[in-house]
Amino acid sequence: MPTLRASTFASALVASSLAASAEIITVGASKDNTLFQNDAGSISNGQGSYLYSGMTAIGGLRRALIAFDLSAIPAGSTITDVRFSIRVSRTITATERTSMHRMLANWGEGLSNSTGQAGGGGGAPAEPGDATWTHAFFGSVPWARVGGDFDAVPSAGQQLVGTGFYTFSGAGLVQDVQSWIDNPSSNFGWAIIGNETVSGSAKRLDSRNNPTPANRPSLVVTYTPVPAPATLGLLLLAAGGRRRR
């Protein structure tokens, strides 16, 4: 039986160890909000039970914002899979294409809380620090572009039909999360953009403040951490010991 060269064996051993060390973490949203189309930029819903995305029956646009704290993932990790799950809890239309876009600027979740029309679909008066149609932080920091600063190219998309849970995944989300692990200060989350060309296309989504914990959005990330130097040393020692046999 052929004998593996020491270098080949060491490489195989390290690769095997890295593959075996893949980790999976489930993270709840750290903040979320809805941008309600409004020229005055005075409406928000930072603490509401729901988010909204799409166009209302009277032609108003809604854009959901959501972000996750990824600090539990070790620096230097390699992201291999990302799955974002969110629940549609109300809809009056059939299938609508909805996409996730990487946010390009930080934004706020203030104390506004709309509990009225359609569970908050009309919004509430914005509070200091809320994200609104015109401001990333109401009362202080405007968006560079009205309606929110986000990448025009979607990171992921999904067809939302009736009520229930939907999962977004793909290489775009993996790339986004990897960039945030490599540069944590750039993690501003995503905008969830629905059909903005058809009246009545808006979907109501359960937010991180939804009273039913099981209905709240989540992010499942699979990653491979960088092995500790001591671990790599042990692997190389093991490879060297095999070579001397």
Q: Is 50 exceeded by the pLDDT of residue 46?
A: yes
Low-confidence winner among 51-55, 170-174, 237-241 (lowest mean pLDDT)? 237-241
Please compute the mean of the pLDDT values over residues 12-26 and round it to a whole number.
68
pLDDT of residue 3: 46
Please compute the mean of the pLDDT values over residues 13-33 and round it to a whole number.
79
Q: Is 50 exceeded by the pLDDT of residue 1?
A: no
Six-digit token pair at 101? 């876009």
- Per-residue pLDDT tens for 122-136? 899 999 999 999 999
pLDDT of residue 237: 54
pLDDT of residue 173: 98
- Per-residue pLDDT tens for 213-242? 999 999 999 999 998 665 545 445 555 555
- Look up the pTM and report it: 0.86
pLDDT of residue 115: 82
Q: What is the DSSP string of 183-210?
A: -GGG---EEEE---SSTT--EEEE-TT-
Burial string for 69-106 (b: 16+ CB within 10 Å, else e) reads ebeebeeebebebbbbebbbbbbebeebebbbbbbbbb
Q: Is 80 exceeded by the pLDDT of residue 85?
A: yes
Q: Where are the domains of the chain?
A: 1-21+226-240, 28-224
Q: At what angle do helices 229-244 and 6-20 cross, to 10 degrees?
A: 140
